[in-house]
Amino acid sequence: MLHIQRIEAAPHANEALRAMFEARKRVFVDLLGWDIPVIADRFEVDQFDDPHCTYLLLTDAEGRHLASARLLPTVRPHILGTLYPHLCAGPVPQGEDVFEITRFCLDRDLSAGERRSARDTLVCALADHALAHGIHAYTAIAERRWFEQIRRFGWTVRRLGTEWREGSTWLSALQIEITPDTPARLRAAGLIPNDGLLSHGEREVA
């Protein structure tokens, strides 16, 4: 099921959100070793997890987390504009119709095939969500390998500046243009969403 959610109270109070924050901790802290906040040694939650962000979450029939992403409005503090503006050669893209994709997370327990399916489904859901909500562009920060994957998805991507080295990692800021033909271009490039995960519809939670 695809959930599109926002939060008003404690960010780990909702079941689907709690599963997502736990998955984020297992990926970004336990696996990748990021030095970021953790609540109760279980939930990865930072200062950008607030009522202004939107979460796209994919869960299976039992409610288990499969994949998720967080969207931050660029008219408010967000990661690229607040922490990494130096990744942009010019002004950081901002606007009511520009959102930043952050914490793109695939559950660690998935098999390779399940990860590919969840990834493709979430990427296609991001494009559909943008078209349904008047979002004309996404920004993001990506390390080198992930940036190259994003470029191959079929949508229009441009790097906003030169690569920047952070420790042993090379980071780039990027912008993804969303147009009416983006969903078809994603599918033409080989992204095959699992319609079964999308067929139950969206759920808005405040």
* Mean pLDDT score across all residues of the chain: 92
The mean pLDDT of 160-186, rounded to a whole number, is 95
pLDDT in tens, 62-111: 889 999 999 999 999 999 999 999 999 999 999 999 999 999 999 999 99
Summarize the confidence of residues 6-12 as an average pLDDT: 62
Q: Residue 193 has what pLDDT?
A: 94
Measure CA of the first residue to CA of the last residue in the chain; give whole Å.
18
Q: Residue 204: is its pLDDT beyond 60? A: no
Structural domains of the chain ordered from first start? 2-200 (3.40.630.30)
pLDDT tens for each residue of 117-142 = 999 999 999 999 999 999 999 999 99
Question: What local confidence, expressed as pLDDT, does residue 62 receive?
Answer: 87
Length of the chain in terms of residues written: 206
What was the pLDDT predicted at 202?
Answer: 44
Q: How far apart are CA 126 and CA 121, in angstroms?
A: 9
Confidence of residue 54 (pLDDT cuts 50, 70, 90): very high
* pLDDT confidence bin for 201, thresholds 50/70/90: very low
* Residue 53, amino acid: C
pLDDT the model gives residue 29: 95
Cα 66 to Cα 118, 147, 163, 170, 173, distances in angstroms: 6, 21, 30, 27, 26
Predicted pLDDT of residue 159: 97
Query: Which of 74-78, 101-105, 165-169, 200-204 is predicted with the least confidence, judged by mean pLDDT?
Result: 200-204
pTM above 0.95, yes or no: no
Per-residue pLDDT tens digits for 10-31 = 555 588 899 999 999 999 999 9
Task: In whole angstroms, give the CA distance from residue 71 to residue 139.
Answer: 10
DSSP code at position 23: H
**Can you give the pLDDT at residue 206?**
36
Determine the pLDDT at residue 114: 95
C-beta separation of 161 from 121 below 8 A: no
| pLDDT in the model for residue 163 | 94
